[in-house]
Chains A and B, each alone.
Chain A
């Protein structure tokens, strides 16, 4: 099983700031990496797939980068609706998720 490790566990930010979230795989997953956002009580929402491709309707302030085992999700300027839990997921093998990064309001 590919183990996905996200850091930090919690990111305390203010609206308008730039947020950088990291995801590391225990082995290479090539570019087979997705990012999701989940607000409390809501369904997860796909943000990024193929490491850097924004899903339909996702604002341009969200960007993904990386290849192999190290990946980054960047939110260029946080808006109020962006405070949520973010998960990375590899699909190079059967899917596994990271444990999540909570972006909360400082």
Chain B
């Protein structure tokens, strides 16, 4: 069974930082591209970042580039999202999702972790 589980969300003040984690099982993580997608309150889904299986291709949405960093540890079947310079616009449920190489459909998603940016 493919499973993806996010953690690390919480309440953070504007300008603060947070690191999200995602651990996967049930598939060969080291050959899978991984993505982060978020859904802000009252809004739709927004793709924010991708990392390839060997970390040689990384891409960000304009809304987070320069503030967020994606990285992975294949030995721990985990992908991470380091979020710095948070604003209230970053308040959302953050999902981790498996993809392919580069841009693709996302076939396995976690339940998400809530990030709230507020003073």
Assess the A91–B46 pair: CB atoms within 8 A: no
Per the CB 8 Å criterion, the residue count for chain B at the interface is 23
Interface string of B47-84 (1 = CB under 8 A from A): 10010000000010110000000000000000000000
Q: Is the CB of B105 within 8 A of A91?
A: yes
Once the chains bind, are B95 and A44 in contact (CB under 8 Å)? Answer: yes
User: Please, which residues of chain A bring their CB within 8 A of the CB of B106?
Assistant: 34, 36, 44, 46, 89, 95
Please tell me if the beta carbons of B45 and A94 are within 8 angstroms of each other in the complex. no
Task: Assess the B103–A46 pair: CB atoms within 8 A.
Answer: no
B104 interfacial contact with A, CB 8 Å: yes
Shortest beta-carbon distance from A37 to chain B in Å: 11
Within 8 A of A (CB), among B19-47: 35, 37, 43-47
Task: State A38–B103 Cα separation when bound (angstroms).
Answer: 21
A45 pairs with B45, CB closer than 8 A = no
Closest residue of chain B to A87 (Cβ to Cβ) is B45
The answer on a CB contact under 8 Å between B111 and A91 is no
Instruction: Identify 14 new A-B residue pairs, CB closer than 8 A, beyond the known A50-B105, A89-B45, A100-B44.
Output: A36-B45, A43-B95, A44-B37, A44-B106, A46-B107, A46-B108, A55-B107, A87-B45, A89-B105, A93-B103, A94-B61, A97-B44, A99-B43, A100-B45
Q: Which residues in A have some Cβ–Cβ distance to B below 8 Å?
A: 1, 32, 34, 36, 38, 42-46, 49-50, 55, 87, 89, 91-100
In the complex, 19 of the A-B residue pairs with CB atoms within 8 angstroms, ordered by the A residue number, are A34-B106, A42-B111, A43-B95, A43-B109, A44-B45, A44-B109, A46-B107, A46-B109, A87-B45, A89-B45, A91-B103, A94-B59, A94-B61, A95-B50, A96-B47, A97-B45, A97-B46, A97-B47, A100-B44
